[in-house]
Amino acid sequence: MPELNLILIGPPGAGKGTQADRLREDFKLPFISTGDIFRAHVKNETELGKQVKSILDSGGLVPDELVLEIVAGRLDEDDVQDGFILDGFPRTIPQAEALNERLQKEGRRLTAAILIDVPDEEVIKRISGRRQCVKNGHIYNVHFDPPKNEDMCDQDGSRLIQRDDDKPDVVAKRLKEYQDSTSPLIDFYDREGILRRIDGTRSATEVHDHIRAVIATLRLEDNV
């Protein structure tokens, strides 16, 4: 059966992580978040972590060569050979081109680029309330999707924190990076005919239902 290779695009705070969590459950697909990979390196103080820490702290983008090396290594692993969900990658046109090239060489292709569309004002409101669990990265929002107990993860009981890059000045920089570097991907994937737009201002459940419906349609069209 053809594989399901998905990428999620959207500004910071669009709910990509939340949706990826749900889709991972639905489709039993491995999930690759370049942001999570970089944060783990920073936390573990690896060489790469030391190299990228100041970039992550400032809300800038890690250079393409470094990102591509990390993703290429991850895409070599066994678990992604039958499909994957990529979150936070690609984030620039060169990254998108490199991904296409890589998949083409293997006779594979992306099934869909799912754009979770949310306006800036909403993004800023959401990010200020975002909390992430220190153990497994589960995500909550104190305004819209609060944990049952304050500052504690419902799923594993660990502590919830605000990521440094969710602080206001860093968020402004991340939004600018999104507009400048990542939003051109919308046209890029539209031209390839694989862009699917989702209204990300709806509730997490509605967004999830919409994405599942889109994937169901793709499967029907493509027998994926």
Query: Are 192 and 184 in contact, with CB atoms under 8 Å apart?
Result: no
Does 140 bind ligand AMP (CB under 6 A)? Our answer is no
Q: Which of residues 13-72 bind ligand AMP (CB under 6 A)?
A: 34-35, 38, 55-56, 59-62, 67
**Catalytic position from the list 39, 130, 131, 196:** 130
Q: How far apart are CB 174 and ligand AMP at their closest, in Å?
A: 5
Active site residue 163: yes
Per-residue contact string for residues 143-172; x = within reach of ligand AMP by CB under 6 A: ----------------------x-------
For ligand AMP, the closer CB: 44 or 223: 44
- The strand pairing partners of 197, in sequence order, are 115
Q: How far apart are CB 92 and ligand AMP at their closest, in Å?
A: 6
Does 174 bind ligand AMP (CB under 6 A)? Our answer is yes
Active site residue 130: yes
Across the beta sheet with 160-161, the strand order is: 139-141, 130-133, 160-161
Pairing type for strands 31-33 and 83-87 reads parallel
Query: Are 199 and 210 in contact, with CB atoms under 8 Å apart?
Result: yes
Query: Are 144 and 126 in contact, with CB atoms under 8 Å apart?
Result: yes
**Catalytic position from the list 39, 91, 126, 131:** 91
Task: Please work out, in degrees rounded to the nearest 5, the angle formed at the alpha carbon of residue 96 by the alpha carbons of 91 and 98.
Answer: 125
**Catalytic position from the list 126, 131, 174, 196:** 174
Separation in Å, CA 40 to CA 25, 50, 85, 128: 22, 11, 18, 22
128's tokens: 């200020």
Q: Kindly state the greatest CA–CA separation across the chain.
A: 48
Does 189 bind ligand AMP (CB under 6 A)? Our answer is no
**Catalytic position from the list 53, 108, 125, 163:** 163
Active site residue 91: yes
Does 200 bind ligand AMP (CB under 6 A)? Our answer is no
Place of tokens 């968020």: 171
Residues designated as active site: 16, 91, 130, 163, 174
Query: Which stretches of the chain bind ligand AMP, using CB under 6 A?
Result: 12, 34-35, 38, 55-56, 59-62, 67, 88-89, 91, 95, 165, 174
